[in-house]
Structure 1
Amino acid sequence: MSINSQAPASGGYPRLAQFMAQDLGVYRRFGELNVSNILQLQAELVYLEKELKILIRLDDQSGDPIRSQYSKSAETLHKSVQGNDSPQWRKTLEVREKLKEYNAALLQQASINRLKPARNYDIRLIQSWIVRPEGGDSFLRGLEGDPWDEENESDLITVCTRQDVDIFTGWIAQTLLPWLHRIVLYRWKTPVKGHEDVGLVKWNNSYFTAVSRIITVIISTIFPSMEVLVLYFIQKMVVRVGMVLLFSATFSLSLAIFTNARPVEIFAATAAFASVQVVFVGSTSGTA
């Protein structure tokens, strides 16, 4: 009997793994447990450090010509393992092993903290798949379903390598595109193999990135021209100044929504944009 290794997984964890392999790598950080582990290791090291210092002091004050040299000569301390074993050396080795464990835990925690929080869209997608009859059919029972509970959502991280996108592009990818797919795009998009029942489709990032870029370019072209046109037809200076404030606020908000600009970059661009408006207002006639 031959087995088709390419066939869809029958259910349970294999099928969930097949589903999450579609760029949906969302897992629990176990932040509290990781921090607790580091704190425990730290406490153990505190006691080991104290014990080692006591042994060093005892050897220094022993009056023994060899033991009193342990803190001054690493070679003498190393040789202490031959014949007459040294408590200080044994404790040093114990500290060394615990330090390796502690430092490894710190580095792992630092790496985990650099991972991004899971997107709400991905979390909802996984939660929905797990309970749907054509998906996971609620196979997770008892504690094994806890990672996806609402109370643990803040502890979920993603290992996906998606690029950071602006707010508008994220809205297209997570809201507009799924809505369009349910309405009309499903006619042309083939579901991922093995997940036809749940209708899982995978869109290339270039699709919604291109749409977002086109819209952004159009807005960036129209907005400055519209601002000049509006100010040109306003005669009252007070109203003009008010419109300058409104356009500046709209401009900064647009940068925050349509780009990944940092706050300092938004501030600088808005200041330059407002300066251009002030020059225009000052160079055209108006009434008080």
Structure 2
Amino acid sequence: GYIKLSNFMVTKSYPIFRQFQASAARDLLYLQAELVHLESQYQKVAKSDRDTDEGDERHLYAFEWWHLSQSENCGLGGEQWALALEIRRKLREYYASLQQYNQVSSLNRPKDSEVRTLREWIESPHLGGGCGFIGRDLGGFVQPSAYDARCEGDFVSPVESPGEDDFLSQFLSGPFLKLFHKFWYRHKVQSGPGNKSSLYYYSDEHIHATIGVIGTVASSLAPMISIIVLYVIHSVKIRLGLVCVFTFMFSLVLALATKARRIEIFAATAAFASVQVVFVGS
């Protein structure tokens, strides 16, 4: 049940939840509509009070706050002040909802593979799950469950994923890891007869540490290879062409393998190109 699922979320780093973005947006629209209606009512009442004779106390509401706030106690109805207070309360609710919507929308987005794994774990006893939910939320009998594939794009994770989310990290932790698992699975020794789950878990720390090593080695090899090639080749024309090729490849790798900003990529590429120019002129 829920206890088994919550333990899996915590121990295997799968705290994934529905955002209900459409419902939240609809609620904001309702609050906005209420405020528009209240504001329209207030404008009508305020105009009516303002258009009274100068001897009427209601004429002073637009110029003196105290008379407006005491209008109900003076036996003048106090409709304008009551509407102002209602708008104040509704504004607080509206602004709080807007802020919460912004905070939830800025939460991390889980990977599609993580959502798919969580959904399969809930439904599959052979993965260690098979929680046997029978409710509308996770049972999926009357309506789509909370983690149904049709809800893709509406999931958030309240914890920050380790490592970066660049193209290299996505490739190594996705397709490359699947190929590695297929090879490793053939030679992997089962932990014992008590292990009934066919779900294999790879530590995020180990994966991202490996990605960091690969990225560091690749970034070190790029200038070394270009320097060696330019040193061996003596033709100036060929050197200029290789400088253009190496510079383009260097900037492309930075764009795909890192989350660097454009200005940072530009600065690194300029420095890389200036190093190569030394060998062209020598």
Range into which the TM-score falls when normalised by the shorter chain: 0.7 to 0.9
Specify the code of the residue in structure 2 equivalent to 1:167. F
**1:13 to 2:10 alignment:** no
Q: How many residues align?
A: 268
Q: Determine the C-alpha separation between the residues in 1 that align with 2:74 and 2:13.
A: 59
Give the structure-1-normalised TM-score: 0.80
Per-residue deviation, residues 233-280 of structure 1 (Å, max 9, x unmatched): 223333322222221122112223433311221122112212222232
Q: Determine the C-alpha separation between the residues in 2 that align with 1:130 and 1:19.
A: 10
Unaligned runs of 5+ in 1: 1-11, 284-288
DSSP-derived class of the 2:152 partner? helix
Moved more, 71-80 or 237-246: 237-246
Q: Determine the C-alpha separation between the residues in 1 that align with 2:34 and 2:18.
A: 27
Q: Determine the C-alpha separation between the residues in 2 that align with 1:123 and 1:141.
A: 16
Misfit runs of 4+, over 4 Å: 174-182, 184-190
DSSP-derived class of the 2:153 partner? helix
Q: Determine the C-alpha separation between the residues in 1 that align with 2:8 and 2:37.
A: 47
Match of 1:4 in 2: none
Q: 1:118 to 1:15 in 2, by over 3 A?
A: same
Verify the 8 A CA contact 1:15 1:136 in the aligned structure 2.
Answer: no
Match of 1:99 in 2: 91
Aligned-residue RMSD, C-alpha: 2.9
Specify the code of the residue in structure 2 equivalent to 1:19. F
Moved more, 259-268 or 230-239: 230-239
Q: Determine the C-alpha separation between the residues in 1 that align with 2:50 and 2:196.
A: 75
DSSP-derived class of the 2:161 partner? coil
Q: 1:49 aligns with which of 36, 39, 55?
A: 39
Match of 2:65 in 1: 74
Match of 1:243 in 2: 242
Structure 2 counterparts to residues 185-264 of structure 1, below 5 A? 197-199=197-199, 201=201, 203=203, 205=205, 207-264=206-263
Structure 2 counterparts to residues 134-173 of structure 1, below 5 A? 134=126, 135-136=129-130, 139=133, 140-142=139-141, 145-165=144-164, 166-173=166-173
Unaligned runs of 5+ in 2: 134-138
Verify the 8 A CA contact 2:70 2:78 in the aligned structure 1.
Answer: no
DSSP-derived class of the 2:104 partner? helix
Q: Determine the C-alpha separation between the residues in 2 that align with 1:180 and 1:187.
A: 15
Moved more, 62-71 or 37-46: 62-71
Per-residue deviation, residues 32-69 of structure 1 (Å, max 9, x unmatched): 22222212221221121111011111111222532122
Q: 1:240 to 1:138 in 2, by over 3 A?
A: farther
Verify the 8 A CA contact 1:169 1:208 in the aligned structure 2.
Answer: no
Shift of 1:217: 2.7
Verify the 8 A CA contact 1:48 1:91 in the aligned structure 2.
Answer: yes
Verify the 8 A CA contact 1:60 1:67 in the aligned structure 2.
Answer: yes
Percent of pairs identical after alignment?
Answer: 32
Moved more, 105-114 or 72-81: 72-81
Shift of 1:174: 4.3
Per-residue deviation, residues 78-121 of structure 1 (Å, max 9, x unmatched): 22232523111121122122212211111111112211222122
